[in-house]
Amino acid sequence: MHHKSLTELSAALQGRKISSEELTRFFLDRIGRLDTTLNSFITVTEELALEQARSADKRIAAGDAGVLTGIPVAHKDIFCTQGVRTTCGSRMLENFSAPYDATAIARIASSGTVMLGKTNMDEFAMGSSNETSYFGPVKNPWDGERVPGGSSGGSAAAVAARLAPIATGTDTGGSIRQPASFCNVTGIKPTYGRVSRYGMIAYASSLDQGGVIARNAEDAALLLGAMAGVDPRDSTSVDLPVPDYMTTLSESLRGVKVGLPREWYGDGLDSGVRAVVEAALTSLAGLGVELVDINLPHSPYCIPCYYVIAMSEASSNLSRYDGVRFGHRCENPRDLLDLYIRSRAEGFGTEVKRRIMTGTFSLSAGYYDAYYLKALKVRRLIAEDFRRAFEKVDILAGPVAPTPAFALGEHMDDPVTMYLQDIYTLPLNLAGLPGMSVPAGFDRGLPVGLQLIANHWEEARLFNMAHRYQQETDWHHFVPSRFAGQSETEQNDPD
C-alpha cells in the first residue's frame, strides 16, 4: 500500500478496495512503528486523522469525492492548523495552537484529505539539515547517521520512508528541494505568489513559498493543483489561473531547450553528484531535449545576497515572538526588558538567534545601504540573469546541492559551509522562479536529485519534464530497505 502513488491510492479508495480509515490506520501504524528512530513527525494527529478519514469515506460513499478525498497527507509544522499545535520546530511555539488554518492547508483539507500530523523541520525553517529543530534532528532514512536536509527534512524523510504518501513543505532558499534530493523524493517549490503564504509562519517573506514533497511528479502535480491559487488574505499571491497540471504531464519533450548554467558545474560541485546529474541530462537528451550551455554571471553573489535579505526579513518577522501575547514566556520576569530578553533567549535556538542578530545588523542605520539595499540591487541583477536565460531556453537543469546528505553534526559548527548547501537552490527564491528536485540516482549509496527550473508560472513544464523522466527512469521508486516492507513490487537499495 505504501508503494502506491496518489492516483493508485485514489483509484483504490474510489473502487472501495480500501477505505480511507483503513488507509489512514495503515500509515498511522507505520509512523508509530518506524518514526521512533526517524523523528520525522513533531505531532501525530491520530484521532483527528481517523475522524477526517471517516468523513472522507462518507464523501466517497455519497459519490461526492475528488481525486484527493481520503488521501492521508503530512504537513510541515510551519503551516498553522486550527486547534492542532504548530511549533515551527521551536521551543518558542512548543505550545502554540493557532485559531485558523493556513490557506494552503484549508484548500487541501477541503478536497477531503486526511492530516496524519505535523512534520519536523529546522527551527523557523532556518537550516539545511533539520538539526536546528527544538524537537531533535530528523534522521535520513537512507542512513541514520546522516541528515535528511532541511528545512523540510521531516516531510522529505516521512515521504521517503513511506510514512506518508505525500507531504507539504516550504522553501525559502532550498528547503523543499535540498531535502527532496537528500531523501530521494520529488519536491516542487512553485513560483513566488503561486501558493498563499497566509498561515504559513514567515521566515523571509519575500522568499518563502509553500510547495509539495511527493513520491513522484504526478503526485506533486495533483497536490499543488489543490493548494495553489490567489488568496485575498495574501497580497503577494498572484491572481492567475491555476492550470490543470495533469493534462500536460505526458507531453513530448522533443525540441524542448534545456539550459545548463555553467557556473553550477564548476568547483564546489562534488564529483559524484556531477556524475549523477550528467547521467540524468543524458537521459533527458534521450527524450529529445536539446541541451544548451547558458550563463548566470551573477551566481557568485547569490549566497551573500540571499543571506542578507533572508536574515534582514527574519529579524523583523521574528520580533512578534516577545513573550507578551503567545508563545514561550520566561518565568517571573522582573520587568519588561527582562521579559523580552529571557523569553527570546530561552525560546529561540542558536541558529535563529544568529540570523536575528545578523539581520538586525544589516538593517541598522549606517549599514542599511551597504548591506540590505545593496542586496536588493544584486537581487535584481540575479533575476535579470534568469530572465535572459529564459529568452534562450525553456528549462534550466543542474544539481540541487553540492553534495549528497552529509553526516549529522558535520556542519553544525560551521554556519558558512552550511549556508553553501543552498548555492544552487536559493537563486530561484531570489528570482521568484519555480524549481523542482527529481530523484536522479545515487552516489555512494546516497540519493542525488536533479534540479529543474522553469520560468515564472510554468510549473506545468516542470511537471511534464519530471514526469517524462520518471517514466523512463526508476530512481524515484527506490526506498531504503528498512522502510521498504514486504511488498512484492518494491525496489530496495540500489547497491
Partner 1 sequence: MNWESVIGLEIHAQLATNSKIFSGASTRYGGEPNTQACAVDLGLPGVLPVLNREAVSMAVKFGLATASTIASRSVFARKNYFYPDLPKGYQISQYELPIVQGGHLDIQWEEAGSGSESETKSKRVGITRAHLEEDAGKSLHEDFQGMTGVDLNRAGTPLIEIVSEPDMRSAREAVAYMRKIHALVRYLEICDGNMQEGSFRCDANISIRPKGDEKLGTRTELKNLNSFRFVERAIEYEIERQIDVLETGGKVIQETRLYDPDNNETRPMRSKEEANDYRYFPDPDLLPVVVDADFVENIRDTLPELPDAKKSRFESEYGLSPIDAGLLTSGRELAEFYEKTVTASGGQAKLSANWIMVELAGALNKVGMDITESPVDAGMLGGLTRRIADGTLSGKLAKQVFDAMWKGEGHADDIIDAKGLRQVTDTGEIDGLIDEAIANNPAQVAQYRAGKDKLLGFFVGLIMKASKGKANPGKVNERLRTKLSE
Least Å from the CB of residue 309 to partner 1:
9
Q: Does 334 bind partner 1 (CB under 8 A)?
A: no
Least Å from the CB of residue 175 to partner 1:
16
Q: Does 26 bind partner 1 (CB under 8 A)?
A: no
C-alpha cell belonging to residue 272: 559524484
Stretch that binds partner 1, among 106-114, 361-369, 391-399, 477-485 (CB under 8 A): 361-369
Q: Does 200 bind partner 1 (CB under 8 A)?
A: yes
Stretch that binds partner 1, among 27-35, 125-133, 160-168, 234-242 (CB under 8 A): 234-242
Q: Does 93 bind partner 1 (CB under 8 A)?
A: yes
Asked if 207 and 200 count as a contact pair (C-beta separation under 8 A), the reply is: no
Choice from 136, 232, 266, 409 touching partner 1 (CB under 8 A) = 232
Q: Does 85 bind partner 1 (CB under 8 A)?
A: no
Q: Does 377 bind partner 1 (CB under 8 A)?
A: no
Q: Longest Cα pair distance anywhere in the chain, in angstroms?
A: 69
Least Å from the CB of residue 363 to partner 1:
4
- Residue in this structure with the C-alpha cell 542512513, named with its chain if needed: 143
Pairing of strands 209-214, 41-44: unpaired
Q: Does 284 bind partner 1 (CB under 8 A)?
A: no
The C-alpha atoms of residue 264 and residue 401 are separated, in whole angstroms, by 10
Q: Which residues contact 149 (CB under 8 A, 6 or more apart)?
A: 128, 129, 130, 140, 156, 178, 179, 180, 181, 182, 183, 401, 405, 421
Q: Does 336 bind partner 1 (CB under 8 A)?
A: yes
- DSSP state, residue 407: B
Look up 76 and say whether it is catalytic: yes
Exposure on the CB side of residue 466, measured as CA atoms within 13 A: 33
- Residue in this structure with the C-alpha cell 481517523, named with its chain if needed: 50
The C-alpha atoms of residue 256 and residue 279 are separated, in whole angstroms, by 18
Q: How far apart are the first and last CA of the chain?
A: 24
Choice from 98, 147, 217, 277 touching partner 1 (CB under 8 A) = 98
Q: Does 122 bind partner 1 (CB under 8 A)?
A: no
Q: Does 235 bind partner 1 (CB under 8 A)?
A: yes
Q: Does 77 bind partner 1 (CB under 8 A)?
A: no
Q: Does 108 bind partner 1 (CB under 8 A)?
A: no
Partners of 119 in the β-ladder: 41, 76
Asked if 57 and 19 count as a contact pair (C-beta separation under 8 A), the reply is: yes
Catalytic residue positions, numbered: 76, 151, 175
Binding positions for partner 1, rule: CB under 8 A: 79-80, 86, 88, 93, 96, 98-100, 102, 197-202, 204-206, 232-236, 312-313, 315-316, 318-320, 322, 324-326, 336, 340, 360, 363-365, 368, 372
